[in-house]
Structure 1
Amino acid sequence: MVHDRDALITGIGIVSSLGCGTDAHWQALNDFRSVLDPTSFAPFAVHPLAALDFDRQIPKRGDQRQMEAWQRIGVFAAGLALEQAGVKGNTDLLSRMGMIVAAGGGERDYAVDSALLSGYPHATNPGLFLNQHLQGELRPTLFLAQLSNLLAGNISIVHGVIGSSRTFMGEEAAGADAVRIACARIAAGQGEIMLVGGSYNAQRADVVLHYEMGGLQRRAPFGPIWERQASGGGLVLGSVGCFLVIEARAHAAIRGAPAWAHIAAICTDRSRRLPGEAAANAKAQFQTMAAHYHPTEAAVISGASGVAAATQEEATFLADLAVPVRATATALGHALEPSFPASLAFAALAVRHAALFPPLEPAERPMTTPLRQALVTSWGHWRGESLALVTAA
């Protein structure tokens, strides 16, 4: 049933190892070849960001210089989304546009980190060693330059989005909750048009170290998501920026904006990740939208990270649905905060074309019938289970 407060995706801005924009990504998904950098952070691989002309969306070089890579990626993707939605430069709409950003922090001071990691194991008094070095070598100005809400601030400065603004931290769940709250605000009449998304720079020694310390990363061979599970799984990180313009159906109709897809339902939750708890959350979420779900017209766009326990449990849950599945991290790498918006973007592209893109690995089966719906999953590598139903607009 069509409703004036339906949440429609009217703009998609996405950049990744596959390229820049929706056309490049759709073409890459239909002629898929993985783009990996296995040497810069060996023995770990990353999916590197494709070359971008940042001047296209961030015309002032001064603005670019004061941003780190993760901020430039996000500001660029946000500009693409605004451009595609037909609102870029429209000061009236931008002044009323809400913004919800999902982002982590910025890069660390590598010299300080290296000194701490090298000296700590040999310190006579490790606690005193840490206190002395942290108090004397970390600069407050450095910390302030890494705050996650700077991404939202830079989007406001560069693109003029000056309505309400929120920034969420919390890895995969942050991206999912950003979308959920945007849809809820539109449904409740608390906003007409929202810019939602995030960015992630995987080409950083500190994040590679961070996830390796947790024993979460994949070492060679770097296979696709489902294939990896036979040999222990693991993350392969990817640089991604993805923003969506989400808009009330009536508002989009008034300004004549075409829609990519309709976010018909969305749920987020979290569990302690005892065996079966994540699947129980997913089943409960699915039941809330089952009445609108038609399996003969549907596929799954999975945000599985590759981390073994969660990915194996999700694979079992998805097998019961008995529909074709595509794992976005095989194509993009796992990108934490923007992973869910990027999966929604892939779902919207597929629904708009009424066709699921071909399998990304042998474990995924083809779909030859028209696609009208996509279930989008996001099981965080550690916490957070999210599910959305994307349908034709």
Structure 2
Amino acid sequence: MQRDVVITGIGLASSLGEGIEAHAAALARSAPPVVDTVSFAPYPVHPLKPLELDRQIPKKSDQRQMEPWQRLGVYAAGLALDDAGIKDDVETKSLLQVIVAAGGGERDHAVDGAILTGLRGANAPGAFLNERLMGDLRPTLFLAQLSNLLAGNIGIVHGITGASRTFMGEEQAGVDAIRTAHARIASGQAEIMLVGGSYNAERRDMLLLFELGGYLRKGDFAPVFAREDAPGLITGSASGFLVLESAQRAAARGAKAHATLGKVAASRSKRQPGTVETALRGLLAELGPVSTGALAISAATGAAGITAEEASAIATLPQARRIATGDLVGHAVEAAFPVSVALAAAALSTGQAQEAIVTGVGHWRGEGAARLGTA
């Protein structure tokens, strides 16, 4: 059994602001990006536009116990529930299943800095390190770093009592979260799902990790597909959540469908020259024929080599209008693909196109593609 799947709720928050309107408008007019080149110099970052957290996370105690990426994700998930009209529907929320794409928790930079400074002068560095780790790191800190706490906090704050799953694994976690949620509804294993991801780019620890791998761009902003002078990622704080629903259920409750989610495909090629383009062409072929003038939204990273291969694969689509998510909100790693699918749905919902293709190639592994149409 293959049932039609529709998107009835969109939750977006990024450097552009929040909600469908702000992001659809930016898509339509190719708005200049919001980039901070000072706070983490020499690395540019797309900073999150401040949110009124009380609107989606009423309790201050809930806000305090979450890290920034969790607050961002819980907020965007609430926007999606509101948009789908199920925020106060207890019965629906008891059936609602949640799939989250997430990375690890955030570091305590003050503790890390104090330990590294102390190590320089320690007579017995090993003993010093063990002592400080046992004394300075609270058990609750380790709990806060668990990736599945985003799904847990979404359930607690928004009263969702259905099952939840968390996928880890950089960009591919976001692809597989969308792919799995779609497959479960299409096959009849679920009726309605909340799926998405969240990423806080304003973290020195993550910038360090990407820089050690040689992935980050330095200096000024440049469009994703024009970074040959200094190729690399420009990360962005962003979250995208979607309410996916069987078309029959959505119609029965009179819900507005922003778009249909046709097929989602994923692959993992061996990273050698040409393999990314070949893999992505294969995924696009799996999606079926694409109409002339379809919108092509790419979650490309800007990393050297693979971004050019992704561009070549997209160029095979008939006269598609290409937009890089990274040009608007930056690269959001685990959340990059969910954010891109949410942007595509927003564009279709506001009449910017009749069909959209979303592509995404991970910075060092994994490829994905999805097809959306008007509802």
Q: What TM-score results when the alignment is normalised by the length of structure 2?
A: 0.94
The Cα shift of 1:109 comes to: 2.1
Match in the other structure for 2:239: 241
Indicate the residue corresponding to 2:308 in structure 1: 312
Structure 2 unaligned blocks of 5 or more = none
Matched residues in 1 for 2:101 and 2:38: separation? 29
State the 1:276 CA deviation: 1.6
Per mean C-alpha deviation after superposition, the further-off stretch among 303-312 and 73-82 is: 303-312
Shift of 1:319: 2.2
**CA–CA distance in structure 2, aligned partners of residues 41 and 288 of structure 1:** 41
State the alpha-carbon separation in 1 of the partners of residues 270 and 297 from structure 2: 24
How much is the aligned-residue C-alpha RMSD, in angstroms?
Answer: 2.0
What's the counterpart of residue 280 of structure 1?
A: 278
The one-character-per-residue Cα deviations of 1:234-262 (angstroms, maximum 9, x if unpaired) are 11110101110000000001000010111
**Partners of 1:310 and 1:119 in 2: how far apart?**
41
Give, in whole Å, the separation in 2 of the partners of 1:194 and 1:153. Answer: 15
Q: Which residue of 2 aligns with 1:358?
A: none
Check the 8 A contact 1:351/1:374 in 2, yes or no: yes
- Separation in 1 of the partners of 2:279 and 2:126? 41
Match among 323, 331, 336 for residue 333 of structure 2: 336
Encode CA deviations 1:17-73: one digit per residue, 9 max, x unaligned: 001100111223334021011111111111111121100011111111111111110
Is the contact made by 1:4 and 1:248 (CA closer than 8 Å) also made in structure 2? Answer: no
Which AA in structure 2 matches 1:381?
H
Partner Cα distance (1:306, 1:116) in 2: 34
In the other structure, the counterpart of 1:161 is 160
Question: Residue type matched to 1:353 in 2?
Answer: T
Equivalents in 2 of 1:213, 1:120: separation in Å?
Answer: 21
Cα shift readout 1:59-116 (whole Å, capped 9, x = no counterpart):
1111111111111100100000000000001000000000001111221121343355
What's the offset of the Cα at 1:354?
3.0
Give the 3 Å change call, closer, same or farther, for CA 117–268 of structure 1 in structure 2: farther
1:59-74 matches, cutoff 5 A: 59-74=58-73
Q: Is the 8 A contact 2:198 2:240 kept in 1?
A: yes
Paired with 2:26 and 2:316, the residues of 1 have a C-alpha distance of 29
- In the TM superposition, 1:140-219 aligns within 5 A as 140-219=139-218
Seen in structure 2, the aligned counterparts of structure 1 residues 271 and 139 have a Cα distance that, compared at 3 Å, is farther
Once the two structures are TM-superposed, the CA of residue 175 in structure 1 deviates from its matched residue by 0.8
Q: Secondary structure of the residue that 2:348 maps to in structure 1?
A: helix
Shift in alpha-carbon separation, 1:77–1:116, aligned structure 2, 3 A:
same
Contact 1:4 1:250 in 2 (8 A): no
- In 1, Cα distance between the equivalents of 2:120 and 2:354? 57
Change (3 A) 1:317 1:253: same
> Corresponding residue for 1:302?
298
Q: How many residues align?
A: 373
SS in 2 for 1:300: strand
* Separation of aligned partners in 2, 1:112 and 1:63: 23
Q: Is the 8 A contact 1:239 1:335 kept in 2?
A: yes
* Aligned residue identity for 1:142: L
Maintained 8 Å contact 1:7/1:186 = yes
State the one-letter code of the partner of 2:112.
Answer: D
Contact 2:266-2:369 within 8 A present in 1 as well:
yes
Cα contact 1:100–1:197 (8 A) shared by 2:
yes
- 1:89 correspondence with 2:88: yes
- Structure 1 residue 264, shift from structure 2 partner: 0.7
Distance 2:124 2:368 in 1: 44
Aligned residue number for residue 352 of structure 1: 349
Query: Please, which runs of 5 or more residues in structure 1 have no aligned partner?
Result: 356-370
Shift of 1:272: 2.5
Determine the C-alpha separation between the residues in 1 that align with 2:111 and 2:51.
Answer: 30
Query: Following TM superposition, by how much is the alpha carbon of 1:320 offset from its aligned partner in structure 2, in angstroms?
Result: 2.8
Aligned positions of 1:45-84 closer than 5 A: 45-84=44-83
**Quick check: 1:323 aligned with 2:320?**
yes
Matched residues in 2 for 1:95 and 1:51: separation? 31
CA gap of 1:44–1:257, structure 2 versus 1, over 3 A, is same
Q: Return 126-135 or 186-195, whichever deviates more.
A: 126-135
Determine the C-alpha separation between the residues in 1 that align with 2:117 and 2:314: 44
Q: CA deviation at 1:138?
A: 4.0
Kindly provide the amino acid, as one letter, of the partner of residue 94 in structure 1: K
CA distance in 2, matches of 1:279, 1:116: 45
Secondary structure in structure 1 of the residue aligned to 2:38 = strand
State the match for 1:255 in structure 2.
253
Shift of 1:285: 1.2
Equivalents in 1 of 2:369, 2:173: separation in Å?
13
Name the SS for the 1:231 alignment partner.
coil
1:101 partner letter: V
Higher mean C-alpha displacement, 245-254 vs 136-145: 136-145
Does the 8 Å CA contact 2:44/2:220 hold for their aligned counterparts? Answer: no
1:390 corresponding residue in structure 2: 372
What is the distance in 2 between the residues matched to 1:124 and 1:33? 53
| 1: CA distance, partners of 2:5 / 2:293 | 20
Provide Cα deviations, 1:152-193, integer angstroms capped at 9, x if missing partner: 111111111111110111111111101100011001111100
**Contact 1:4/1:249 (8 A) holds in 2:** no
